[in-house]
Amino acid sequence: MGSMPAVSPLRRRVLGNPVVRTVLSLWAWLMLGVIVIIWVPLVFVVWIVTTPFDRGRYWPGFVFRRLCVAHQLLNPLWKFRRSGLKVTDPRRPYVVVSNHESFADMFLISHLPWEMKWMSKEDFFKYPLVGWLMHMSGDIKLIRGSKQSIVSAMKGASDRLGKHVSVMIFPEGTRTLDGSLGEFKDGAFRLAIEHGAPILPLAVVGTREAMPKGDWRFGITSAEVRVLDPIETTGLTKDDIGDLRDRTRAAIQAALTEMRA
């Protein structure tokens, strides 16, 4: 499949000019605000119209993720691409897991052409407009460090899988400071085995540069999300959680090594 395309020297030289990057970042933030304002009533209408027959809130979520696609098209500093497996049945529920580079992972992964419910920190649900979009889309709230919240989030994830909607989880829990792949927690893999749902691994490269730490401006990047082969869980038991976790992490690490070459 080859390696991820690098940012061309000419593009980096032009966009990397501090004044140009500042102006384009202001533009990109403005466009993000405008898009969010437009998307709230759009998703609301889809939510109202589809509620009687869309118990898993597939379509409100699908429309919500297109917000990220629209923003990337209007952000000259970012170039995104997707590669790897093409999912032919968007209503086959997967437990989707990915490495976690930055907040921009959400923007990149949302380019995948099927809907999945995101397990996200409670703070995001409190934001005006964005939090409303997440509620209408049926995303799953998680309070870190709260055992009761973890149990509730897993019940929410089970509910979405049972309604034929995939669930998206970052098994590292949080991004690593140096971009290396952290250790995976067991939750996503326990969930997949309990439901007999396949694990769908994703490898993400380039989003760490999209939103540099400590800088309000967007970074210059060409980022890629690669969809890897599903890992079936049929016949597995709780005794296989560790092996499933390690196999998934190894597959993502191998893909990251190739993509960063």
Would you list the domain boundaries of the chain? 9-259
Task: Provide the sign of the torsion angle of the four alpha carbons 130, 136, 138, 142, taken in this order.
Answer: positive
DSSP state for residue 196 in the 8-state scheme: T
- Closest by CA to 118, choosing from 90, 147, 145, 141, is 141
Please give the pLDDT value at position 46. Answer: 98
- The CATH class for the domain spanning 9-259 reads alpha beta
Each residue's pLDDT tens digit, 84-112 = 999 999 999 999 999 999 999 999 999 99
Show the tokens assigned to 211. 């939103």
Distances (CA, A) of 230 to 4, 98, 105, 110, 128: 21, 12, 20, 18, 36
- For the chain, the distance separating the N- and C-terminal CA atoms, rounded to the nearest angstrom, is 12
Cα separation of 110 and 252, whole Å?
18
Contacts 24+ apart (CB under 8 A), 37-44: 37/129, 39/63, 39/64, 39/67, 39/133, 40/129, 40/132, 40/133, 43/133, 43/136, 43/137, 44/136
The SS3 call for residue 96 is strand
What residues of the chain score a pLDDT lower than 50?
1-2
Cα separation of 220 and 74, whole Å?
14
Please give the pLDDT value at position 105. Answer: 95
Please give the pLDDT value at position 1. Answer: 44
